[in-house]
Amino acid sequence: MTLLKPEELLRGISYIPPKTNWMDVPLEIKPSRYCYAAGPASLEYVSMPNPRDWNPLEDDWKLPDNWKEIVINGMKERLEKFRSFKVFMDICVRCGACADKCHFFIGSGDPKNMPVLRAELIRSVYRGELTKAGQILGRLAGGRKLTLDVLKEWWYYLYQCSECRRCSVYCPYGIDTAEITIIGRELLNLLGLNIDWIAKPVANCYRTGNHMGIQPHAMKGMFDFFCDEIEDITGVRVEP
């Protein structure tokens, strides 16, 4: 199999946005674009809510019956607790200066991976559920209601972010989009919606003191091996 060069890969990515409004573009969870769901064992170990087996590709994500109330109350709590979050919800002018700074957008061409639109996934719910203008005018004010499809959209796109904050460096208003993404993930975690790539290393850290889950005797064996290697190369015996 011939490996394509970076410039050849980029030629296959379209940055032309869809003609329809972004709110009307249905969610499509694509292979290789998402991480596996967090397993119940990892969530239980760190006392996270709603541990269970679930699959993002299935319709039923096994959420609690009052999942919407949990998320909305969680958003209210964070709006009161973090002034920056409240400010970031209100001051964005959608200039798009952050768009081509995100490697997830550059690598996918998906408009919802632009930092401004990734944050808008949350900002639109804030307007639609928690502001008078959004509750009265709806989409005219950039607001929408929190539905199951919206929640799944959050999960799919909020974890397509490495929190590098490159977008924030170029934002003329100083909006920390990573903070918005982090809070969005907090809201998802209230429902047990995490990814295995995060939950398992965290559980390993709590259990063994390292993210790889290496047991103490294995860790000691590695250090002994390193000391032997150093002695072979330098002639100096290091005692850890």
* pTM to 2 decimal places: 0.88
Residue 137: pLDDT over 60 = yes
Q: Can you give the pLDDT at residue 7?
A: 80
Q: Per-residue b/e over 85-111, b at no fewer than 16 CB within 10 Å?
A: beebbeebeeeeebbebbebbeebebb
CA atoms of 226 and 52, how far apart (whole Å): 40
Give the confidence band of 1 by pLDDT, cuts at 50, 70, 90.
low
Residue 193: pLDDT over 60 = yes
The predicted model gives 165-171 an average pLDDT of 95
Helix (H, G, I), strand (E, B) or coil at 146: coil
Q: Are 205 and 192 in contact (CB under 8 A)?
A: no
Which residue in 211, 212, 200, 186 sits closest to 82, CA to CA? 186
Q: Can you give the pLDDT at residue 13?
A: 87
